[in-house]
Amino acid sequence: MSSEPLLRVENLKTQFFTESGTVRAVDGISFDVHEGEIVGLVGESGAGKSVASMSLLRLVDDPGEIVGGEISYRGETIFGLEEGPDGELREREEMLSESEMRERIRGREIAVIFQDPMETLNPVFTVGGQLREFIELNRDLPSDEAKAQAIDMLREVGIPDPKERYEEYPHQFSGGMRQRVLIAMALACEPNLIIADEPTTALDVTVEGQILDLVDDLQDRYDTSFIWVTHDMGVVAEICDRVNVMYLGEIVEQAPVDELFYETNHPYTNALLDSMPRPDRTVEELDPIEGVMPEAINPPSGCRFHPRCPDAREVCTRVHPEPLEVDRADGYPHRAACVKHDVFDVGYDESVPLEAGDEAETGVGETGTEANVDSDSPLEEDQASTDGGESER
Amino acid sequence: MATTESQLEEQEPGAPEATTDDEDVEARVGWRYTLAKVKRDATARIGFYIVAIVLVIAAFAAVDSNLSRLTFGALSDYRAAQALPFFEHPTALPESGEAQRNVPPAFVDGGTLSHPLGTDPQGRDYFTRIVYGSQVSVSVGLVATAIGLIGGTIVGAISGYYGGWVDDVLMRAVETLYAIPPLVLIIVFIVFVSDGSPDIRYAVIGVGITFIPVFARIIRSRVLSVREMDYIEAARAAGVKDRNIIRRHVIPNSFAPVLVYATLQIGVTILIVAGLSFLGYGAQPPTPDWGEMLRIAHGRYMHSNIWLSIWPGLAILVTIMGFNLFGDGLQDALDPRIKN
Amino acid sequence: MGLLKYTIYRLLQAIPVLIGISIITFVLANLAPGDPVRLMLQGQQVDEELVRAIEQRYGLDQPLHVRYWNYMTGLVQGDLGYSIHRDRPVSDLMVERAGPTLLLVVSAYVFAIVTAIPLGIIAAKRRNKPTDHVSRIVALVGVSTPSFWIGIMLIIIFAVQLGWLPSAGLVYPWQPPEAAGYDNHLQLWAATIEHLLLPMIALGTLQMATLMRVERTQMIDSLQQEYVKLARAYGVPERTILRKHAFRSAQLPIITIIGLNLSTALGGAVLIETVFAINGMGRLFIEAIQQLDYQLIMGITMVLGAIFVIGVVITDISYAYIDPRVTYGERE
């Protein structure tokens, strides 16, 4: 699209420094969000979706830290590093300070809806009081106006008798109702972007449907942009405009939603789609993804998905692909990080296919020797980057 | 009250999913794992060393005084000849003439190396008395806690397992014991049971009984959660006797949190017994007991010889701290949720 | 249930416990080998006639259950019995001696709460930093030190060596200043604080250490809750999070523990009153024990138990007040 995106994320890296080693939870992801869009961030649990979304607010819990990349929001730098005079990395001058983040970005520009509505509301304060506090804070309204706004918002998200329920405590609300409260909270602060971190995962299916309809409806009216974090391809199909598929801290495929579903270009996305229940297929036809996702602390060499990939060939254990443009649709690029596409040109076709399963054992947790081959290889120097496998050594 | 109970309940990891056959194995693996974690934890290690040292000293003191030098006689005579204070009998009064009363510690003017911590108002070596005092404190702490633990286990297991009116009655009784300040209850017990002539044995029994409620509560809450587990249901369905179920399944499964609690409770016990002795209802003179020594010091010597007040208190502090550190370490090892 | 109803309900619930306390003390007192009168007259020439007369006068010749019944009916009417030794009703003595003890215990709690809560919060906030380590060491030493020894040390330092503060006795703010030898209320209050300071610290240290540990753990737990993350994500300043969002729910266990520790504190008062020569219930108890004044002993035990029970009821009610999830009566 022509206009400047609302949020731009470039090569973001967030790592956790734990006793047993560095966990590269988010390892160089890039994506953007435009005005009025709902952008999906999809992947299995542990793929780094939540960490990525909290990084956008610079709210990563200890011992995690954003270590690289750039996040800009409407021309303001939420995160950005530069090289100092001695070659050390330091925060850029225009990067927002902690208090600027708190006063200008969090809640006011970017709001969040968390996964578990049961845990997210403070049990010892009234629902209305919590709502009012955030509205007061982020819209500079006096207390009584904030209260009126809060009640309006509760009505807006479909809570009956909002005046009475304003005075009630969270434990008097059902899970679905609490999630509506949290949505009201996010919208009431009138942000331009809402990060919804698996907001329907903890709810049952019928309530999930209602919430999705509600968000769809409200999004039309308020024209708020969303980053929708989920592991559920069904939700993605229902609500998202564009989708980023994450695997082990990386984005492996990025495309508008229809394009992603009909012109799938990454084996992992394919696997996700195959494992999703659909009306046109029986349960027997469901095809769960083989194996479990490896730990981000010690990712496989080469393409991180290769140990579980049905299309994996020998080259996949060596070359670490970055998402490259393989197609275009609706004016957006369709990117995929899979060397089977011609743009990569690393000799996928000539490479020997891996026996399914035999790599699954050895590939996981082996970064040492093979990764050296990986970085020495001239092939991918210009085609694909190795920074995923290298930065630590 | 509900909160403390549930906290205690949560302070241990999810009960091992033991089956009827291999629960012993699991329990042992659990212990080894716990011990390994305790070893890695610095504070727990310090606690462990303090406890170990105090235990060794106490054991040695017990041997020396109770076997009346049968085993160590020759050695102690030899040492005594070397003018080392270690083996002077802690209760024996020095022969008149050679008595040096209220000698200050060695590092103070007027102190002498042969009495590193000085002497008491009757001329006895204070270091010896402090060392022997460990015997009283530690044995009292262990025995009284054991009484509370065993009594509490029985009461708690019965109460939790049978429920109903048994539970009601026992828990009301436990609550009642809880309501009277332990020190007061124990003193009343000691005075009325001992017929007006208190003795450390009554103190130990009294303290032990007073702690039954605490242990009963923990055991009971554990039993309540264990009781609902599938394998207990299975055992019951298979016709295993209640008593055997409690003994073989319920109690072993409740033991980890109780043991942690017991370790911490030893410290509390020592604290209370010291208080009893201080008031004159625990150890009686001439027994070398830290609380008793403080009683004498507080009476008349707070102005003239402050050291008499300092040493026993420090000894109590270090001993209890050892048990507390060790108990905390055990607790952390068993409860990975809150890592300090 | 409303708050008032809940209060009444909780007080009713306490009745069996109070009955239990009366049974325990009664049984203990009557288990004593030898009869109480003879015990009381220990060491004196025993005149059989006199013993019989005393027994008859106080109903001691009746069977045990009758005596208990008499005792209970007396209790219900607020009659705690009669101290033969002091020739005064026990309730009079209680009224006289409860004041100093309550003053001591309450001030020790105030000291413990105002120090423990901020320290616990700071420790939780600066977890694993030097401040945290220092506070943990203070807490550890606090729970490991006998209160009476702290009292002795405080006397040695501040009264004997430095001579700053008095080492014994208490001045009561409720008495007329002239009677205590002071010109006005200001002086009286100053003297009260002066006298109260050392015993208050001695008795309060254990409570402080306990509360500090709990506060720290609770705040650490609370700061990891989702609702704290939410507040952060909505730009709430860290100070507000600490003081409001994380604070409130973290105080719930503290309230419970304050109530439960009341019995330790009352027991501690016996020791501290002995160390500082304060004429409260604790010292009265020791005197009664020494004189084997069993009616008085029973009376003190009853009153201490009742104070504890009332304290627990009060904390339970304030718990219900703070935690909206408590639906007065059945907790989750």
State how far the Cα of C257 lies from the Cα of C266, in Å rounded to an integer.
14
Cβ burial of C155 (10 Å; 0-12, 13-18, 19+) is buried
Contact C201/C111 with Cβ under 8 angstroms? yes
**C160 to B278: CB separation less than 8 angstroms, yes or no:** no
pLDDT digits (tens, 9 = 90+) for B125-139: 777 788 878 878 888
CATH for B133-334, options being 1.10.3720.10, 1.10.3430.10, 1.10.10.10, 1.10.645.10: 1.10.3720.10
In this prediction, residue C332 carries a pLDDT of: 35
For residue B66, what pLDDT band results from cuts at 50, 70 and 90?
A: very low
Residue B21's SS3 state is: coil
State how far the Cα of A66 lies from the Cα of A249, in Å rounded to an integer.
13
In this prediction, residue A220 carries a pLDDT of: 85
CB < 8 Å to A182, chain C: 230
Query: Maximum Cα–Cα distance for chain A, whole Å?
Result: 71
Question: How many C-beta atoms surround the C-beta of residue B19 within 10 A?
Answer: 11
**A107 to C230: CB separation less than 8 angstroms, yes or no:** no
In this prediction, residue C185 carries a pLDDT of: 83
- Which chain C residue's Cα is nearest to B1? C256
CB < 8 Å to C233, chain A: 54, 57, 59, 106-107, 111-112, 114
Closest CA to A384 of A342, A328, A337: A337
pLDDT digits (tens, 9 = 90+) for B258-313: 888 888 889 989 999 899 989 988 877 777 788 888 888 887 787 778 888 889 99
Question: How many C-beta atoms surround the C-beta of residue C64 within 10 A?
Answer: 10
CB < 8 Å to A61, chain C: 229
In this prediction, residue C141 carries a pLDDT of: 92
Q: Which amino acid is at B266?
A: I
Q: How confident is the prediction for chain B on average, in pLDDT?
A: 73
Radius of gyration of chain B (CA): 23
Any idea which of A49-63, B5-19, C28-42, C114-128 has the lowest mean pLDDT? B5-19
Give the CA distances from residue C278 to residues A116, B277, C196, C228, in Å, rounded to whole numbers and listed in that order.
Answer: 56, 19, 10, 47
Compute the Cα dihedral for A113, A119, A125, A128 and give only its sign. Answer: positive
Give the CA-trace dihedral at C168, C169, C173, C179, to 10 degrees. -120
Provide mean pLDDT across the span C315-325.
80
CB < 8 Å to A124, chain C: 248-249, 252, 322-324
Neighbours of chain A (3+ CB pairs under 8 A): C
- Which chain B residue's Cα is nearest to C162? B303
Higher pLDDT, B251 or B190: B190
Give the CA distances from residue C109 to residues B253, C99, C212, in Å, rounded to whole numbers and listed in that order.
Answer: 37, 15, 12
pLDDT of residue C48 exceeding 90, the answer is no
In this prediction, residue C199 carries a pLDDT of: 95
The 8-class DSSP code of residue B122 comes to: T
pLDDT of residue B76 exceeding 70, the answer is no
Which segments of A229-316 does DSSP mark as H helices, in order? 233-239, 257-262, 267-274
Q: How many residues does chain B have?
A: 340
Closest CA to A340 of A329, A359, A354, A328: A354
Long-range contacts of C45-54 (CB under 8 A, 24+ apart): C54/C84
Q: Which amino acid is at B333?
A: A
**A120 to C226: CB separation less than 8 angstroms, yes or no:** yes
- What is the pairing mode between strands A225-230 and A193-197? parallel
For residue C33, what pLDDT band results from cuts at 50, 70 and 90?
A: low
- Do chain B and chain C touch with ≥3 beta carbon pairs under 8 Å? yes
Where do the domains of chain B lie? 133-334
In this prediction, residue A86 carries a pLDDT of: 81
Q: Which of C234, C236, C248 sits opposite A124 (nearest CB)?
A: C248
pLDDT digits (tens, 9 = 90+) for C136-172: 889 999 999 999 999 999 998 998 888 898 888 888 8
> Min CA distance, C185 vs chain B (Å)?
33
Higher pLDDT, B253 or A150: A150
Any idea which of A94-108, A113-127, C54-68, C283-297 has the lowest mean pLDDT? C54-68
CB < 8 Å to C260, chain B: 1, 4
> Min CA distance, C227 vs chain A (Å)?
4
Q: How far is CA C29 from the centre of its chain?
A: 23
pLDDT of residue B29 exceeding 60, the answer is no
C270 and chain B: CB distance < 8 Å anywhere? yes
pLDDT of residue B248 exceeding 80, the answer is no
In this prediction, residue B90 carries a pLDDT of: 60
Chain A residues bordering chain C (beta-carbon distance below 8 Å): 54, 57, 59, 61, 101-103, 105-108, 111-112, 114, 116, 119-126, 133-134, 137-138, 169, 171, 182, 185, 189
Provide mean pLDDT across the span B198-218.
86
Closest CA to C196 of C151, C261, C260: C151
In this prediction, residue A3 carries a pLDDT of: 67
This complex has an ipTM of 0.86
Q: In what order do the strands lie in the sheet with A21-33?
A: A21-33, A7-18, A64-73, A76-83, A89-91
Neighbours of chain B (3+ CB pairs under 8 A): C
Q: For residue B253, give the H/E element and its range.
A: helix B251-279
Contact A114/A108 with Cβ under 8 angstroms? no
pLDDT digits (tens, 9 = 90+) for C212-249: 989 998 898 888 888 999 999 998 998 899 888 888 88
**C145 to B195: CB separation less than 8 angstroms, yes or no:** no
Closest CA to C232 of C221, C246, C218, C220: C246
**C308 to B179: CB separation less than 8 angstroms, yes or no:** yes
In this prediction, residue A42 carries a pLDDT of: 92
Residue C184's SS3 state is: coil
CB < 8 Å to A111, chain C: 233-234
Which residue reads 């325990």 in tokens? Answer: C24
Higher pLDDT, A362 or B39: B39
Higher pLDDT, B231 or A60: A60
- What is the pairing mode between strands A242-247 and A38-42? parallel
Ordered structural domains, chain C, with CATH: 3-76 (no CATH), 98-279 (1.10.3720.10)
> Min CA distance, C189 vs chain B (Å)?
28
For residue B189, what pLDDT band results from cuts at 50, 70 and 90?
A: confident
The 8-class DSSP code of residue B125 comes to: B
> Min CA distance, B289 vs chain C (Å)?
14
State how far the Cα of A330 lies from the Cα of A307, in Å rounded to an integer.
33
Task: Answer left, alpha or beta for residue C163, where phi above 0 means left and psi between -120 and 50 means alpha.
Answer: left
- Which chain C residue's Cα is nearest to A120? C227
In this prediction, residue A338 carries a pLDDT of: 87
Q: Any bridge partners for residue A111, and if so which?
A: A194
pTM for the predicted model, two decimal places: 0.80
In this prediction, residue C266 carries a pLDDT of: 92
Q: Which of C233, C237, C245 sits opposite A122 (nearest CB)?
A: C245
Per-residue pLDDT of chain A (393 residues; tens, 9 = 90+): 446 889 999 999 999 888 778 888 888 899 999 988 999 999 888 788 889 999 999 998 878 889 888 999 988 888 988 887 887 888 888 888 888 888 888 988 999 998 888 888 998 899 999 999 999 999 989 999 999 999 998 998 888 999 999 999 998 898 888 888 998 898 888 899 999 988 887 778 888 888 888 888 888 888 889 999 998 888 898 889 999 999 988 999 999 999 888 888 898 998 888 877 766 766 666 677 777 777 777 788 888 888 888 888 888 888 888 888 888 888 888 999 888 888 888 888 888 887 654 444 444 444 333 333 333 334 433 444 434 333 333
pLDDT digits (tens, 9 = 90+) for B304-315: 788 888 899 999
